[in-house]
Amino acid sequence: MNTSNLQNRTFLALLIAVSAAFLTILWPFHGAVFWAVVLAILFMPLHRRLLARMPKRHNLATLCTLGLCLLLVILPMAFISLSLVQEAAQVYERMRSGDLNFGRYGQQILAALPDWATRLLAHFHLSSLADVQEKLSSAAVQASQFLATKAVNIGQNTLGFLVSIGIMLYLLFFLLRDGTALVARMRNAIPLDEAHKRDLGSKFATVVRATVKGNIVVAASQGALGGFIFWVLGIQAPVLWGVLMAFLSLLPAIGASLIWMPVAVYYFATGAATQGVILTAFGLFVIGLVDNLLRPLLVGKDTKLPDYLVLISTLGGMSLFGLTGFVIGPAIAALFVAVWDLFAPETTHPSTPD
């Protein structure tokens, strides 16, 4: 008996050590592996439909699914990224040359403010034009340095980025082709009741699909609309600002407004009331409604998670894991709720009969 327990403990320790070593090896490409799994979950229903039409051609069906994924996701993202880098470089050059001076814009806004607003700024020691210009110039310098650093990193890491994309596509092919068998082996290895494993797996897949589709649809919609209205108003680098609004839209309710609202304030302060009214109305009633209408339908409805839990888990996931955290956070939160829902009935003591 003791020998059996020792063998079990030794095997468990070996299993944990080997698994940790394997995860350590994969860590340099954890982003590629993660997004390969996410894309496999998203495109698996499409792959199954294609496989039903060509049941004896698994490789061809997988290649067709991979091609659609490349056409619908990878290539548009690559095009947007290229445009983003170009516009970010142009903005950085304008900031460095002084053509784009946020301190001057701050002076124009401050000079147009009413007396009560000036007194409020004086309370926070911001009534001096020199102080405002210094703070805005400092922020502009930091922003320009950030843009320059990112541009340099993108240039230096082009090879690494291409390698990651290649690994992701290569892994995605096998996950699509052999995903059903891999999931079956994983489920067999987990020491849980079959119904529990089925419920947890279904919950995880549902949350990933809802979170990715919901957040990406909302972000893409808000970014596209924001970039469109900036282009209509003649604001330079609309793709850059649209992408920034798309990223910030991952923060529900207030995200995209952090970009368009200061621009609207600048329009009003400098006498361009027409542009200010157009941008404010478009931001509130078009960009804002996209978040208020689509996010609860696409994210909260399918995940069956409260809105506050989706928000907190998204913010927490992004703070820990970066951009991929907007998927990891809600997925962990959903699994947390699902596991406790499974655990609670088992720990509830039956009532004692009279």
This prediction has a pTM of 0.67
pLDDT of residue 351: 47
311 three-class SS: helix
34 three-class SS: helix
Highest mean pLDDT among 60-64, 133-137, 239-243, 297-301: 60-64
pLDDT of residue 251: 66
pLDDT in tens, 261-302: 888 887 887 778 888 899 889 888 888 887 777 766 666 555
Average pLDDT of the chain to the nearest whole number? 75
From 93-107, 160-174, 209-223, the region with the lowest mean pLDDT: 93-107
Give the pLDDT band (50/70/90) at residue 41. Answer: confident
The candidate with the shortest Cα–Cα distance to 212, out of 63, 20, 43, is: 43
pLDDT in tens, 152-181: 555 556 666 778 888 889 999 999 888 888
pLDDT of residue 352: 46
| Buried/exposed code over 11-24 (b: 16+ C-beta within 10 A; e: otherwise) | eeeeeeeeeeeeee
pLDDT of residue 210: 72
Output the six-digit token pair for 340: 């406790």
| Buried/exposed code over 314-353 (b: 16+ C-beta within 10 A; e: otherwise) | bbbbbeebeebbbbbbbbbbbeebbeeebeeeeeeeeeee
Once rounded to an integer, what is the mean pLDDT over residues 237-247?
A: 81
